């Protein structure tokens, strides 16, 4: 064995105990949770509901770092470049799956990240402002067929599940709407409530209070079955679109290469936080269902979402500027 090999072997031997000690001590400083969306949207809202309990369980602060822009990709790119030491994590929204086809990204989700848990899923709902004449989804379809490309619908951004799922509805139903993308759910809901756009496809988290107030009228939900979060509203699957299923979702991801003991500890802490009765109730009151899955189920789910919606994007030639 030459001197260089001996030195490398010695360095490896010295590094192993340090790595083990670092894993055992984790966390010994604040943890950053990147939310790749601005404050006020659903991803930020849900993250802030479990954040305090997660920090309490881990014994260290969990600092939410809002990195919005480019349909969630700016924050995701930063998270993909973070050191895999367990001190940077990402709370992803459904755009993470569609962005894999829509955008030219320097990373692939299932290679750059290790899934920790699917945190929650819920329905998307198409809502109409109360001032519009649309009482049912069929009213929208009939009006759009009569005058194509004259009725607008808002979404939280190009290529997100709200946009892509509405595109699939149009493809299957033979009608055309005009897409009005916003830079996140916060700005979109403001204009929807103000009546600046007649229709809005959104997760229920940011519109539930406006539905209850009667400002926004729900016309349909994207889950296979009726949702308790939008009572009295039929799913599109029961409105002439058989098997239509497009639940929105939120997932907790870590950097690929994060030591298994740290990832497992984070998963245990997250599941414990989501099992807290107060946390669970407050999240589900927003309009979604807590899932708290294991990493394997989360990984399979993400893989299916990337493939399924990637095909819709390709079929309909959706681009980042559409």
Helices (H), the chain: 3-25, 42-58, 73-80, 95-102, 109-112, 137-146, 161-173, 185-194, 208-213, 260-275, 277-284, 295-315
pLDDT tens for 254-275 read 999 999 999 999 999 999 999 9
Q: Domain extents for the chain?
A: 29-121+247-315, 124-238
d(CA 1, CA 310): 52
**For residues 111-128, average pLDDT:** 98
Mean pLDDT of the chain: 93
Q: For the domain 29-121+247-315, what is the CATH code?
A: 3.40.190.150
Does 5 have pLDDT greater than 80?
no
Architecture of domain 124-238: 3-Layer(aba) Sandwich (3.40)
pLDDT in tens, 167-179: 999 999 999 999 9
pLDDT value of residue 19: 55
pLDDT band at 292 (very low <50, low <70, confident <90, very high): very high
Could you tell me the maximum CA-CA distance found in the chain, to the nearest angstrom? 83
Identical fold at 29-121+247-315 and 124-238? yes
Task: Please report, rounded to a whole number, the percentage of residues in the chain having pLDDT higher than 90.
Answer: 84
Residue 83 has pLDDT above 70, yes or no: yes
């Amino acid at each position: 064995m030459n001197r260089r090999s001996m030195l490398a072997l010695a360095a490896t031997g010295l590094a192993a105990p340090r790595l083990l000690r670092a894993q055992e001590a984790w966390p010994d400083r604040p943890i950053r949770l990147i939310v790749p969306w601005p404050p006020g949207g659903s991803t930020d809202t849900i993250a802030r509901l479990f954040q305090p309990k997660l920090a309490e369980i881990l014994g260290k602060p969990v600092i939410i770092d809002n990195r919005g822009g480019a349909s969630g990709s700016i924050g995701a790119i930063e998270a993909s470049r973070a050191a895999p030491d367990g001190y940077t994590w990402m709370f992803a929204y459904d755009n993470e799956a569609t962005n894999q086809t829509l955008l030219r990204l320097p990373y692939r989700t299932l290679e750059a990240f290790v899934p920790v848990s699917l945190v929650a899923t819920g329905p998307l709902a198409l809502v109409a402002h109360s001032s519009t004449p649309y009482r049912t989804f069929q009213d929208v379809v009939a009006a759009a067929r009569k005058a194509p490309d004259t009725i607008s619908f808002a979404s939280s951004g190009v290529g997100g599940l709200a946009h892509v799922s509405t595109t699939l509805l149009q493809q299957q139903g033979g009608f055309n709407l005009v897409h009005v993308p916003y830079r996140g759910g916060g700005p979109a809901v403001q204009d929807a409530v103000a009546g600046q756009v007649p229709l809005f496809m959104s997760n229920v988290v940011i519109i539930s209070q406006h539905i209850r107030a009667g400002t926004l009228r729900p016309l349909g939900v994207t889950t296979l079955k009726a949702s308790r979060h939008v009572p009295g509203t039929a799913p599109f699957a029961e409105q002439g679109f058989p098997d239509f299923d497009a639940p929105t979702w939120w997932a907790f991801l870590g950097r690929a290469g994060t030591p298994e003991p740290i990832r497992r500890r984070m998963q245990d802490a997250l599941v414990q936080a989501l099992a807290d009765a107060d946390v669970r109730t407050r999240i589900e009151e927003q309009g979604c269902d807590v899932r708290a899955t294991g990493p394997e189920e989360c990984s399979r789910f993400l893989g299916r979402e990337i493939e399924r919606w990637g095909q819709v994007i390709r079929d309909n030639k959706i681009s980042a500027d559409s």
